[in-house]
Structure formats: structure tokens, C-alpha cells
Amino acid sequence: MAVARVVSREHLDEPTPCAGWVVRDLLRHMAAQHRGFAASSGGRGGEPGVWDGCDAADPVADYLDACEVVLAAFADPGVAERSFELPEIVVGAPFPPAVAVSFHFVDYVVHGWDLACSIGMPFQPDPDVVEAARAVAEVVPTGKAREVAGAAFAPIVEIPAGGRAFDRVLALLGRDPAWSGLMAERQGKHNETDTPP
């Protein structure tokens, strides 16, 4: 949420590490997923439309509202006893709550990085968050399913030995940890161009 709060209108058309998406697309997806998981936690994950995003006039405000919705849903005392229908993953086979929440957790750790990189902000989760994300990322299926259009994650990216622990999480989920450096370089050149002599 902290990263989203500094997104300005000028950022909305910036590219992201998510192929083909600009910042507004990423915020729309993130808000839709928050609302979808919230609905699923209440037994409505299979209902039409609960996973659909909207073209909000203010994508940041819409995303922040969706954050509050999913946080409230996951804080409900009964959520640990409910199954989650997640039709975007598999239809007709509900997931145990801990598994479903772990899916959402790792997606949002990585999307937090996506968003931060897109607007030129540093992003380094706490070590316990990185470790929890790594544990989930290591069991995400690989293979041909990652090569189809619209796949949740791209194929695993090779990274040099000795990188940060979080770089491994990113690479396991198909992100190039160097993308943030490339974006920073691009923004620097953009700023140089825009600076009057």
C-alpha cells in the first residue's frame, strides 16, 4: 500500500515488468485480485464478475480501497475454516485457506516489486517476508504452462550466483531482477532529456 500511495497520474502510463502492462493495468489487476480473493474467502469465488477489474477514474484510490476490502476479509475470524474457489487457477477444486492465502501473498510481494520498479522506488521486503515468498515461489509449477499467453508467471529467469535472496524469488516467478536497474537508467535518461540546459 505504501508504494501505491506515491503513484501519481504521471506514472500511470509507465511500463512495468509485467509484459504489455503499464502501471494503470497493474493497479487494475491488483485491485481485481484483492476483491476476487475477498469474495472467495466469503464463499463467492465462483460467482461471475467477482474477479473482473474495472477502469476506475482513479486507479490508485480504487486499489487502496481494494486493499482494505481484502484485509478485512482475511481478518474475519472464520476465514481459516473456509475453502477458496479460485477459478483463475483451477475450476471446481477449492483450495484450503492457507494455500489460497499463500498464493495471494506471493503474488502481491512480486507485484509490489513490479509497482515499485515501475515508478523508480526501491523495494526490499523484510527477510521473513522474502523467506515466506521463496517457500511459495519454489513450489509454483513450471513448464509449458508458463509459456502460454496470459500465464500468471513467465518461465524461470537465470540469475548469477551470489544475488540477493529476493532476486531468487523474482527469478523463480519469471521476473528479471535487473529490470529495476534498466528502468532506473531509462528514467535517468528521460530526466536528462527533460532538463533544460
Domains defined for the chain, CATH in brackets: 4-194 (1.20.120)
Cα–Cα distance between 79 and 90 in angstroms, integer?
20
Those residues whose C-beta lies under 8 Å from the C-beta of residue 131, and which sit 6 or more positions away, are 165
pLDDT value at residue 182: 56
End-to-end distance of the chain based on CA atoms, in angstroms?
37
Answer positive or negative: Cα dihedral of 62, 132, 142, 122.
positive
Contact status, residue 28 vs residue 53, Cβ threshold 8 Å: yes
One pLDDT digit (tens) per residue for the chain, 197 residues: 789 999 999 999 999 998 889 999 999 999 999 999 999 999 999 998 999 989 999 999 999 999 999 999 999 999 999 999 998 888 888 999 999 999 999 999 999 999 999 999 989 899 999 999 999 999 888 888 777 777 778 888 888 777 789 999 999 999 998 886 555 555 554 444 343 33
pLDDT value at residue 75: 94
Cα–Cα distance between 144 and 90 in angstroms, integer?
16
Contact status, residue 110 vs residue 175, Cβ threshold 8 Å: yes
| Exposure b/e, 91-124, CB count within 10 A at least 16 = b | eeebbebeebbbbbebbbbbbbbbbbbbbebeee
Per-residue pLDDT of 180-194, as tens digits, reads: 655 555 555 444 434
Contact status, residue 27 vs residue 62, Cβ threshold 8 Å: yes
Give pTM, 2 decimals. 0.86
